[in-house]
Amino acid sequence: MFIKTISSVALVSLLTASPLAFSKDKPKAMIAPGLFSFEVMHDGAMVEIKRNQNPENLITDLYATTFRGMPQAMHPFEPYDVETIAEREFVQYMIDAQKNKNILIVDTRTIGWHQRLTIPGAVSYPYTMMDDADDRDWAMDDFGALKQSDGGYDFTKAKTLAMFCNGYWCGQTPSMVRAMLEHGYPAEKIKYYRGGMQAWTSLGLSVVGEATE
């Protein structure tokens, strides 16, 4: 009886202490512990990143279907040690990129996908740029890798890139990353957001683009 009484008291104390217990307001969907929103610069304007607080909100039609390609491996770049990240890690790179110019959020999808819907703060560098030498040099230069006289690149000032495409099944980021690795881009400077747009929109996180209109 004593043990049961203590357990009951402990349970009541726990519920009373919980910020959601007996709250008149509905709990807010958080991005991370204590983080409900933050701002990023996108196309010259500040955009607030937050989760849609409507309990009945549905994923966009662009990512509603499940008949997609084969899922990418969790670590598809072995033996290169490229880190695979999820939403909370990706969000931290987004936040850090606002003050650190050596961090870049990269949308690797073709331009049409980028224009339809993308993550605020992301810059478009389609994976197809790696197929053309001039386009590749242009992208690499933006990424901090400078072309050398011998045809190679100097990666001394290479930026940290948080890269994404359409989702777990999408091969656009893996294709671009593999090409960059083959040209010597440091694996530790590449972060692969495997969930991409599929995961981002499934969490109701803010997006920009034609499909939002």
| DSSP class per residue in 64-129 | ------PPPPSSTTTTS-PEEE-HHHHHHHHHHHTT-TTEEEEE-S-HHHHHHSB-TT-EE--GGG
Give pLDDT tens digits for 170-212: 999 999 999 999 999 999 999 999 999 999 999 999 999 999 9
Is the pLDDT at 105 greater than 90? The verdict is: yes
Name the average pLDDT for the chain.
Answer: 90
- Amino acid 164: pLDDT: 98
- Amino acid 27: pLDDT: 58
The answer to whether the predicted template modeling score (pTM) of the entire model surpasses 0.75 is yes
Which one-letter amino acid corresponds to residue 111?
I
Is the pLDDT at 9 greater than 90? The verdict is: no
Domain 37-212 bears CATH identifier 3.40.250.10: yes
- The percent of residues above 70 in pLDDT, for the chain, comes to 87
Average pLDDT over residues 11-23: 39
| Domain locations along the chain | 37-212
Average pLDDT over residues 3-16: 38
Is the pLDDT at 158 greater than 60? The verdict is: yes
Average pLDDT over residues 22-42: 83
Say how many C-beta atoms besides its own lie within 10 A of residue 27's C-beta.
Answer: 10
91 closest CA partner among 142, 46, 39: 39
